[in-house]
Amino acid sequence: MTLIERGDLRLLLSDEGKHIREINDVYVPEHIDEETGNLIPEHVPYYAEMIFIGKQVKDGDINSIYIEELKPIED
């Protein structure tokens, strides 16, 4: 990941062949909630190749908020 700063603009870019997601945004398969019995739909993480970062996010906190992963090979 590369952080680019131009004035107030802060942009986080993924490396080639990779993408970025929030570290807590993980895949959750469809399942039944044990307490309510309701069907909880599948959750697929949101991936991006570039993310605009606010000024309030410190440079040292970026790796604890975002993670970079290899993109899957598409057929």
Output 74 or 53, whichever has higher pLDDT.
53
- Per-residue pLDDT tens for 20-54? 999 999 999 999 999 999 999 999 999 999 999 99
* Residue 11 DSSP SS3: strand
Q: What pLDDT does 65 receive? A: 95
Q: What pLDDT does 74 receive? A: 75
In a domain, 58, yes or no: yes
In a domain, 75, yes or no: no
In a domain, 62, yes or no: yes
Task: Count up the domains in the chain and report the number.
Answer: 1
Mean pLDDT of the chain: 93
Q: Cα dist. 22→38, 41, 47, 61 in Å? A: 26, 20, 8, 12
**pLDDT tier at 75, thresholds 50, 70, 90:** low
Domain that holds residue 45: 2-70
In a domain, 48, yes or no: yes
